[in-house]
Amino acid sequence: MFEVLGFYKFINIRSLKKNKVLLQDFLIKKKVRGTIIIANEGLNGTISGDSKDIQSTINKLKKIFSFKEFDNSNKSKSIFQPFHKPKIKIKKEVVPMSLTLNSKERNLDTHLDPNQWNKLIKKKDTHIIDTRKPFEFDVGTFKKSVNPDVDNFRDFPKYLNKLKKDKPVAMFCTGGIRCEKTSVYLKKKGFKNIYQLNGGILNYLKKTKEKDSLWKGECFVFDNRISLKHGLKVGSYFMCSGCRKPISPKDKKSKKYEEGVSCPNCHDNLTDTQKARFRMRQKQINLAKKSGSKHIFQKEFK
């Protein structure tokens, strides 16, 4: 059983290149996989490994960057390693929004626990915003939520500028970090009633019983588990090899679904040349399975 840890921390970080090397070497040594993004404004990541090695990594992060606790973190389990290798990435921002966040700017008073969140989004005048990408929204979301339909988070402020300032705004995302920035942005724009789901969807699904839940569907995650359900159990979605988008069991029954080639989302957009190339790749994967070895594509996208 592997432990999966998602986390973020807004803190001033210097010597990014030096810290990248330190972390990369440490993760390799501990056989911990996943991705950690470091920027001058903080760090954000999801990693997986043995529980002892994950705890060692937590201790290492706190020591290197001199902090006591994450701004938010969540743990879940997986019966398989959901990541292929360890990656440390240096970025301008932990979440790209053209807005650098100072830890002192975080609106902690606006963070709602699952019970408070349920009460807020049941109110008719609350504007519920799913800040994630459209394909994530399609996998699952809260009742009556609206998705801005932007693929690049940098374009998100264009949507926010259209909102009414006198209406309560309830925001949510997978782990909470996107809402941290969005909350600060709206506050600077003069919004008063801004709220966010503390710990994001993952915290909600972990702590809320299904009978009390206002969530519909599953939650897409950026690892090989693809999606999670209540209790953070692995969901029913798969990944299309053609477009790299999540597909449901229902999608797999479609005439436009072809293993390793296409799904209803991309079938009509792929060229014959692309489909032929994908079929050849899938043929090689099938042959590798029969011989008991792994094709390079399996290693990268399993």
* Residues classed as catalytic: 173
E strand intervals along 125-189:
127-130, 140-142, 169-172
Return the SS3 of 216.
strand
Helices (H) and strands (E) in the chain — how many of each? 10, 15
Confirm if 177 and 72 have CB atoms less than 8 A apart: yes
Residue with tokens 């019970």: 115
Percentages (nearest 5) of helix, strand, coil residues in the chain: 40, 25, 40
Q: What are phi and psi of 141, to 5 degrees?
A: -165, 180
State how far the Cα of 214 lies from the Cα of 155, in Å rounded to an integer. Answer: 28
Q: What are phi and psi of 230, to 5 degrees?
A: -55, 145
Bridge partners of 58?
none
Beta strands 140-142; 219-220: pairing state:
unpaired
What single DSSP character describes residue 14? -
State how far the Cα of 218 lies from the Cα of 227, in Å rounded to an integer. Answer: 6
Bridge partners of 128?
170
Distances in Å between the Cα of 118 and the Cα atoms of 73, 121, 214, 215 are 21, 5, 7, 10
Q: Which residues, in sequence order, are CB contacts of 163 under 8 Å at separation 6+?
A: 127, 169, 186, 191
Beta strands 111-112; 227-228: pairing state:
unpaired
